[in-house]
Structure 1
């Protein structure tokens, strides 16, 4: 049964990591037009539990993109400088949508693994009861 619980634990860690990634992506999309906003990114880390020796995945620290902010020309904007430009965000909407699709597919794959492991352990329990 430990193999089933390991699979459930591993897939639930993946679900949590991808949901946090989707949260950051949705924040980026929501702030695409916010002046001075920097894109948030998150990385994944492989974590080894020393007591059990099992590996799992979790999100690393959130990072702000250091890419240059877009210079937007609008002399009427309150943040515009003397030349009429202000700092926009460095969020690329197409990139965010592509990242969201990738995160969604990874989330769905982890969910399928979770469901299959649960079904297999239920099936094994049913066989053992007979």
Structure 2
């Protein structure tokens, strides 16, 4: 029964990290400059999950998305190219909000599974005692 709590906990930790990544992407959806002030549009981050040793899941890595940066037509922008286009972050707020909702629902499902596992352990202890 201990294993069920371990699996549920790993799921909650992984989904919390997923929510953090989606939040970070949303926070940077308009970021065009790096920390030094150089033009470097923010690139969307993606989380990669993998199974852990106990049969649960873990966040293996956070990587930069393969999706290309979006091109926005704004010939008056300081960073516009010769054709008047500016590269902007490849963050889609709808996708990030969906990621956040899925992470939240998955977290809740894992929390509920952990509660059920805990209840089963308590019942087993009461039956033994």
Same-fold call, TM cutoff 0.5:
yes
Aligned to 2:127: 127
**What is the deviation of 1:99?**
1.5
Q: In structure 1, list runs of 5 or more residues that go unmatched.
A: 49-53
Give the TM-score of the pair, scaled to structure 1. Answer: 0.84
Aligned to 2:49: 44
Aligned to 1:51: none
Residues of 2 paired with 1:73 and 1:34: CA distance?
17
**What is the deviation of 1:94?**
1.1
**What is the deviation of 1:76?**
3.5
Aligned to 1:110: 110
**What is the deviation of 1:81?**
3.1
Give the TM-score of the pair, scaled to structure 2. Answer: 0.85
**What is the deviation of 1:47?**
2.3
Residues of 2 paired with 1:10 and 1:40: CA distance?
25
Residues of 2 paired with 1:81 and 1:25: CA distance?
29
**What is the deviation of 1:106?**
0.8
Q: How well do the aligned residues superpose, as a CA RMSD in angstroms? A: 1.5
Matching of residues 61-100 of structure 1 within 5 Å = 61-100=61-100
Q: 1:23 aligns with which of 13, 20, 25?
A: 20
Aligned residues: 121
Q: Please identify runs of 4+ aligned residues in structure 1 that moved more than 6 A.
A: none
